[in-house]
Amino acid sequence: MHCMVFRNSVELEKNNATPLFDWGKYYIKDGRYFMPLSVQVHHSFADGLHVGKFAQKIQEYLDNL
């Protein structure tokens, strides 16, 4: 059996500032690689700017593999 997804999600508690990351197995479509990725953070810990910068860095890293 192959692992299709790695999941770090837990029930969010009121004062939990731990970022949650979920990603799935990569796949190829039209000659391009895709990998589902979900990021969940509390708004007092990070905002869209931080998540956007993270996503951009991940994309840059994967583009250079």
Distance CA 22, CA 34 (A): 14
Residue 48 backbone class (left: φ over 0; alpha: ψ -120 to 50; beta: rest): alpha
Which residue do the tokens 């004062």 mark?
A: 15
50 annotated active-site: no
Catalytic residue among 2, 42, 43, 50: 43
Catalytic site positions: 43
